[in-house]
Amino acid sequence: MADIDVLLRQVSAKAAETSDEDELPPAATAEQIESAEQVLGFRLPPLLTRLYREVANGGFGPAYRLLPLTGEGRTAVGEYREVRATRKPGETSWPAAVLPILDWGCGMYAAVDCRDPGGAVLLFEPNGVGADWHDAWYVDAESLVAWLEIWLSETGWYEGDVAEGYEEAREPQPWEAARARLSEPD
């Protein structure tokens, strides 16, 4: 298992190095995290909390960068509330306690399963999916630690050279718990 403090230092360094802005946004405060958890109705995994508290309130990570947890504009909390609120009665495409943290574009999201102790990172890929939304969910990484390590090593499925087959990348696998989690009542 990774040393979380070392991992956070590596993430901070890469975040600063790859930031599109002159500097990353300020880190979220303890009060902002607590408020976000109250609005969401669930706690964030400890590593996700530390990312927002110690690295930055979004603006770093793979491709399109992590959404801010809170603040102005699009946020992880706002996206979660929106995807949960737009459900049709008796039908859902988005399970409870799965927080979208990154918008890949074209309706795709990276999301953290906040019920999973390791914070499994899921990929929501709804393109080409019919009415059975469980087919839109994949496990991108078994844990947030693994997902961050993939980003740091530049071996994710979203990397240009990897996507073109120059290197082997682990493809996201179907999320076996999707059917059960999507059928849970609120």
Break the chain into its structural domains and give their ranges: 4-182
Average pLDDT of the chain, as a whole number:
89
The predicted structure's pLDDT at residue 133: 85
Contact present, 8 and 51 (Cβ < 8 Å): yes
Distances (CA, A) of 153 to 7, 17, 86, 169: 12, 14, 36, 11
The predicted structure's pLDDT at residue 169: 58
Cα Rg for the chain, rounded, in angstroms?
16
Q: Which CATH class is domain 4-182?
A: alpha beta
The residue type of 12 is S
Task: Give the rounded percent of residues in the chain with a pLDDT score beyond 70.
Answer: 88
C-alpha span between 111 and 120 (Å, rounded): 8
Q: Write the pLDDT tens digit of every residue in 20-58.
A: 666 899 999 999 999 999 999 999 999 999 999 999 999
Backbone angles phi, psi at 24, to 5 degrees: -75, 155
> Residue range 129-133: average pLDDT?
80
Bridge partners (DSSP) of residue 173 are: 139
